[in-house]
Amino acid sequence: MLDHLNEEGIGYRIFEWYPLGLALDVERPGKLLSNLQGYMHIQEEVSMVPPLILDPQPGEQILDLCASPGSKTTQISQMMENRGLVIANEPSLSRIAPLRSNCERLGVLNVAITRYDGRLFPRGAFHRILVDAPCSSEGRARRGQSVLLRCSLKRSLDLQTLQIGLLKNAVRLVEPGGVVVYSTCTYAPEENELVVAEVLDEAHLESASIPGLKGCPGITQWQGRELNEDLAKCTRYYPHINDTGGFFVAKLIKD
Amino acid sequence: MLPSSSRIRNVFEPLENSEVAELWNSRFGIPTHAFDGFRFYRKSNSIWVISDSLIPKLSYETLGMRMMNLKDRPWKPTTCALQIFGRNATKNLIHLDEAQAKIFLTGGSQPIESVSEMGYVVVFYRGEVLGCGLYSHGKLISQLPKERRMEASMQGEDI
């Protein structure tokens, strides 16, 4: 693919923290032949972090509980060298088509799509599970301020109920010793640390930092309330630090 | 049709690898061992391919990639499956030059001289598979899905 980009005279910079991540110097990357032919996928830089923390291995069984449009699903599939099985779950019928289309364009052969409510996904003994949860998306504000107009404490608390349901089910579905990665593209502690805190009696946290990418520790105090100090092992990625979108990532190991 | 029987038709039924491998070998000359390490399923008029692995009992929307459509005769390969398996084709394939590739990529039809038999062909450019074409009466008709096409306005641009 780099040969194609060089031939086409398209400038790019390889991320310091991920050799397969490229920042392209082009106006409409989606229209590049390399994209149409499935050699690349266009996405926000920092949203490539959660699959790296998940660290899936070829041959494993992985569940991506909130999969569409499949940026992380397909990155996981690639990390597994198209071997093993990734179950990409997406409850919304209208969001199945882009998920499927991205998988097919990128030549993915180890993904099966299901359409359960993630809180009720019925069974499994997965090696690793990604919960890239629906969130208020404050971390996307640089791509359009309108996302902030919809944010409120009430909205965050409504989402928190869903997020806790998803994360609790993921912890249930992963095998003992297995990894659950919880991520959002928002800053609200109600949707991040306060969600992760709900499962710390069944799982413990490990570091979710990436060498070469600056992260900040998860918060351990919010509105006068002391939280579990292990929540500092979560990582917050901020736009003003890395010149990316914002993200929150937690890595949990089931006890 | 009873509801129960239509429901049965809508499940993924496992196929023998050899059933699929022989069809692709016969049309494209792809060695049958290229299909080892995969599982194949039929659902309604489509055949699906997925990497060989334990598949838990769940209700699935897709199993891997849709690789062929059996609705019409002859059966039609999907562009995405040709990109995976088509590189091993030894017949019914067409190599395009840059100008021809541009027409193909925008979804167009064009006269092409080829020894290919009439029907679906693997279309190559610079040694890589671009996708599925229909070769008929000396004409190559692009079968690229709409979302995979270049815009016609980009025809003048480098590819």
* Cross-chain residue pair B62–A36, CB shorter than 8 Å: no
Q: What is the total count of domains within chain A?
A: 2
DSSP B52: S
* Cross-chain residue pair A82–B51, CB shorter than 8 Å: yes
Scanning the structure block, which residue is given the tokens 């598949």?
Answer: B55
Please, how many CA atoms are within 13 Å of residue A37, restricted to the half-sphere of its CB?
22
Preferred mutation among B38, B58, B59 to probe A, highest tally of A CBs within 10 A: B58
Give yes or no: residues B107 and B54 share one domain: no
Q: Residue A129 maps to which CATH number?
A: 3.40.50.150
Range of the domain at A106: 44-254
Is residue B8 less than 8 Å (CB to CB) from chain A? no
Give yes or no: residues B105 and B55 share one domain: no
Task: Note the pLDDT tens digit of each residue in A206-253.
Answer: 999 999 999 999 999 999 999 999 999 999 999 999 888 899 999 999
Residue B158: is its pLDDT beyond 90?
no
Give yes or no: residues A192 and A101 share one domain: yes
Q: What is the total count of domains within chain B?
A: 2
Give yes or no: residues B102 and B57 share one domain: no
H or E segment to which residue B83 belongs: helix B79-85
* Boundary (domain end) residue, out of B87, B107, B122: B87
Range of the domain at B5: 1-87
Task: Note the pLDDT tens digit of each residue in A3-54.
Answer: 889 988 899 999 999 999 999 999 888 888 899 999 999 999 999 999 999 9
Give yes or no: residues B74 and B105 share one domain: no
Q: Quote the tokens at residue B19.
A: 């059933």
Is residue B14 less than 8 Å (CB to CB) from chain A? no
Catalytic residue chosen out of the listed positions A66, A185, A216, A234? A185
Task: Provide the 10 A C-beta neighbour count for residue A84.
Answer: 21
pTM for this predicted structure: 0.93
Give yes or no: residues A37 and A54 share one domain: no
Quickly list DSSP for A110-151: SEEEE---GGG-----EEEEEEE-----GGGGGG-THHHHT-
Give yes or no: residues A56 and A90 share one domain: yes
CA B113 to chain A, closest CA, distance in angstroms equals 25
Give yes or no: residues A99 and A6 share one domain: no
* Cross-chain residue pair B62–A112, CB shorter than 8 Å: yes
Is residue B151 less than 8 Å (CB to CB) from chain A? yes
Residue B2: is its pLDDT beyond 90?
no
Let me know if A135 is a catalytic residue. Answer: no
* Boundary (domain end) residue, out of B87, B108, B129: B87
pLDDT value at position B155? 52
Give yes or no: residues B79 and B155 share one domain: no
Give yes or no: residues A192 and A241 share one domain: yes
- What is the interface pTM, i.e. ipTM, of the complex? 0.92
Residue of B nearest to A85 (CA): B53
Give yes or no: residues A102 and A202 share one domain: yes
Task: Note the pLDDT tens digit of each residue in B29-47.
Answer: 999 999 999 999 999 999 9
Give yes or no: residues A29 and A72 share one domain: no
Kindly report each contact of residues A209-212 with a partner whose C-beta sits within 8 Å and lies 24 or more positions away, as own/partner: A209/A235, A210/A17, A210/A18, A210/A49, A210/A52, A210/A53, A210/A235, A211/A17, A212/A15, A212/A16, A212/A17
User: Which residues of chain B are within 8 Å of residue A1 when distances are taken between CB atoms?
Assistant: none
Give yes or no: residues B74 and B6 share one domain: yes
pLDDT value at position B159? 58
Q: Quote the tokens at residue A124.
A: 């499994």
pLDDT value at position B154? 58
* Boundary (domain end) residue, out of B87, B119, B138: B87
